[in-house]
Structures are given as C-alpha cells and as structure tokens.
Chain A
Amino acid sequence: MISILIGTIAFAILAPVVGCLLSGFDRVVSARMQGRVGPPILQPYYDVRKLLEKEHASVNAAEGVYVTCALVFAVLAGGIFFGGGNLLMCVFVITLSSLMFIVAAYSTRSPYAEIGAHRETLQVMAYEPMVLLMAIAFFMATGSFDVNAVLGLDAPIITTAWLAFLGLLYILTIKLRKSPFDLSMSHHAHQEIVRGITTEMSGPTLAKVEIMHWYENVLFLGWIGMFFVWGSPISIALTLVVMVLVYLLEILIDNNFARVKWQLMLKSAWVVALLAGGVNIAVLAFL
C-alpha cells in the first residue's frame, strides 16, 4: 500500500517528464524518417503549455470532469504498476480511464467525436483480450500478479513468455493510437473524422488529454519493460534499451503503414491474442 502511494506520487511527477520527452523524440524521429528537420524535442511541452494558456471553453459542463477523471485514473494505474502493485488492478484502472475518456467524447454529442468514441470502444474491445492474457501469462511465469515479483526472478519472463510479449507488441500499436490502428484519433493532420475522439476537447481540456497520453505511453512501455527485468541491476539497463527499441519500432510502423479498416484491426488483434496469448498460457500451464 505504501509502495503504491510512493509509486503514484513518483509516477505523477516523473512520468510526464519522460512521456513528454518521449513524445518529442517521437516527433523528431518521425520527421527525420520523412526527410524533415522536425520540431524541437521539447515541442510537446510547448504545445501543452500553450493549450493551458488558451481560453477555457467547453460544449458542456461534464466533458472536462470526465477527462479529469480519465487523467487521474491513468496516473493511478501507473502508480499501481510502478509501485509494484497488482498487474490486474493496473489493467482494470487503465480501462476505467479509457471508459471515462470515451464517455467524455460521447457526452459532447458531436458527430465527429461520437464516431471517434465508437471507434475507441471498438479498439478497447480489440486489445482487451490480449492485455488480460498478458497479465495471466505474467502470473503463470512469475507465480504472482504483483509486478514487484519480477525483482525476485532468476531470469526475465521474456524467456518463458516471449509469445505473449509478441502479442503485446502487436496491440501496443492500438494502445498508442499509432497508424495503422489510429482509428479513433490520429496524431497526423486532417483526418476524415477531424480529430476523432478529441474533436470537441479544446484548450486546457486538450492539454489534460495530451498529458494523459504521456502517462499512458510511459505505463505501456513499463508493461514492455516488465518482461525483461529480473533480480539483477544489469536488467534495468537492458530494459531501458529494449523500451527505446520498441518505441522506435512503433515509430517505424507508424510512419510506414496506412490506416486499416476496423474489421482487420479487430480480427487480427483477436487472432493474435488467441494464438500468442492462448498458446503461451497453455504452454506455461501444462509444461
């Protein structure tokens, strides 16, 4: 409990710094991949500060409250994870955060935001099985749902749960809302549904959404990292390298694929969950 509290406070303070730099890194690398110079690495920070300076307007009085809830729950989910708490709890709280975000968009009744909300709901349905199976694979590999169990291992769980790791890698693209799975909203300009789920969120509310994405990105990379940690200090360095590599891979995918239709997203995500997650936990359970 104390560790979760400390974890939450530490995560609340540190994750935005990391998340912001990560996001800036993303934009610079993307620009370089496209043969551009790109913005300064602190650009996401400037964006958020600007948004906070803007006039506060909203289509209704509830939207901002929902978004704040989504942000707070995202922080809490990260705190639970980095505080060594229960992995399933972390998964459930981040799902609660997604729900709040979705309901915020629904509450505006804007046609564009509503389509974004529909698609976001679909995305949650697409990635949720794999996330749960990942948690189960974690349990079967470590014997506990507590994240801090990895610190007592002799070998990282990637050795036994690499299939589940690959599955997680697949749905990570959906969770990070990167192309080809950026159905509900895109980081790229001018989409057919405007800005999708965030269409009606403006100024400070949008700033909260951006910050929430920073938190989420750090948390999801934490999930990646969890596969590589064991009871040795070297593992931390290895984990950091892996996290950077995975993020680079995501950027590469983002820049090289056009958006897919929802049918393909749902079908492929579920098939991957079934094969990667299902087979992995079957192997862990029976062998």
Chain B
Amino acid sequence: MAFASKSPWVIHYDASSCNGCDIEVLATLCPGFDGERFGVINTGNPKHADIFLVTGSVNHQNIDVVKEIYDQMLEPKVVVACGICACTGGIFRDCYNVIGGVDKAIPVDVYAPGCAVRPEAIIDAIVEGVAVLDQKSKALKAQKKRGGE
C-alpha cells in the first residue's frame, strides 16, 4: 500500500487568477467542505507538498515561478489545474501576455474546469490526483528497488 494517497498535502499557487478560483481553493479546506477529511493540508511550501494546485493562466511573468515551484517539489508529485483559466487559458487565452494553460509550463495530471471551479470539483480532482500519486509512488518504489539491486 502506498501512503501517498492517504496524506495529500497541497500547495496552492495563483498564477494569474482573478481570485475567484483561489477563494474556492481555500473554501475547500474550510469547515463546509473539510478537505482534511482526506488528509489534505495546505502547506504553502513546495518542499512539503505532494499536489500542486494552480489557479489562473500562465503568462510570461509567472511561468518561471510555476516551473521553479514544480521543480522544488519532491517526487512523487501531481499537478492539478484548477479552473478553466488554468486548464486552457480560459477567456484570457487570447491576451497578448498570456501563454495559455498550466500545461504550457509543466505537466498537468488532472484538469478541474469551472469558472470559478467548485470546491466539490477541487476535492474530486484531488481524489483523482491521489490515484495518480499512488501510481507514481509505486513506480518510484520499483525504481528504487531496481537502483538498489
């Protein structure tokens, strides 16, 4: 059994969101939805987090930051694009400064569309992300074993 699925710690980054999705991400952890039931903790620190929640589209200003935060997270890790802007760029996709969805910067595992994304959708996405986390964790273990032999 992999324990990654039982304790998904998240980090939330606001790329260029209008703050609508950000509020919903925080609402996910509040009493109404209580993400901690699934072990979710908002760490605010890439070094502690397993799941990277990105809201808003990626632009030239923040693409390096998104990449660096992703790089500083330890394997196994999962990226969830929260909201339609994070998924595709949303209504801002044609702006001169917008590059597009988060997948233009880093590999995205789960897409949670919505404007703004509902907390239920975020929880759903996290639970789905947890499954991916499990797979990656197993792969990492197998790799470690091979490395050890």
Binding site for B on A (CB under 8 A): 27, 31, 34-40, 43, 46-47, 49-50, 53-55, 57, 189-191, 194-195, 198-203, 206
Contact = CB atoms under 8 A, between A and B. Distances in A.
B42 interface: yes
Given A39-B39, A46-B7, A46-B39, 11 more contacts: A35-B31, A36-B37, A43-B39, A46-B6, A47-B39, A53-B76, A55-B140, A190-B44, A194-B44, A195-B43, A206-B48
B60 interface: no
A50 B4 contact: yes
A53 B7 contact: no
Interface string B63-78: 0000000000011100
Interface in B97-149: 137, 140-141
Nearest to A43: B39
Contacts of B18: none
A248 to B, nearest CB: 19
Give the interface size bracket for B toward A.
20 to 34
A55 B137 CA distance: 9
A195 B36 contact: no
A6 B48 CA distance: 35
B16 interface: no
A60 to B, nearest CB: 14
A53 B2 contact: yes
Given A46-B7, A47-B39, A53-B2, A199 B45 contact: yes
Interface of B: 2-4, 6-7, 9, 29, 31, 34, 36-39, 41-45, 47-48, 50, 74-76, 137, 140-141
B43 A38 contact: no
Which of B37, B41, B47 has most chain A Cβ within 10 Å? B47
B7 A47 contact: yes
Contact of B36 (A35, A36, A190, A203): A36
21 contacts: A35-B31, A36-B31, A36-B37, A37-B37, A39-B39, A43-B7, A47-B7, A50-B7, A53-B3, A53-B4, A53-B141, A55-B74, A55-B140, A189-B43, A190-B42, A190-B44, A195-B45, A195-B48, A199-B47, A201-B47, A206-B48
B48 to A, nearest CB: 6
A38 B37 contact: yes
Given A46-B6, A202-B74, A37 B34 contact: yes
A189 B44 contact: yes
A203 B44 contact: no
| 8 A-B pairs with least C-beta separation | A190-B44, A46-B6, A49-B3, A202-B47, A189-B42, A50-B3, A55-B75, A36-B34
Contacts of B29: 189
A255 to B, nearest CB: 12
A199 B47 CA distance: 7
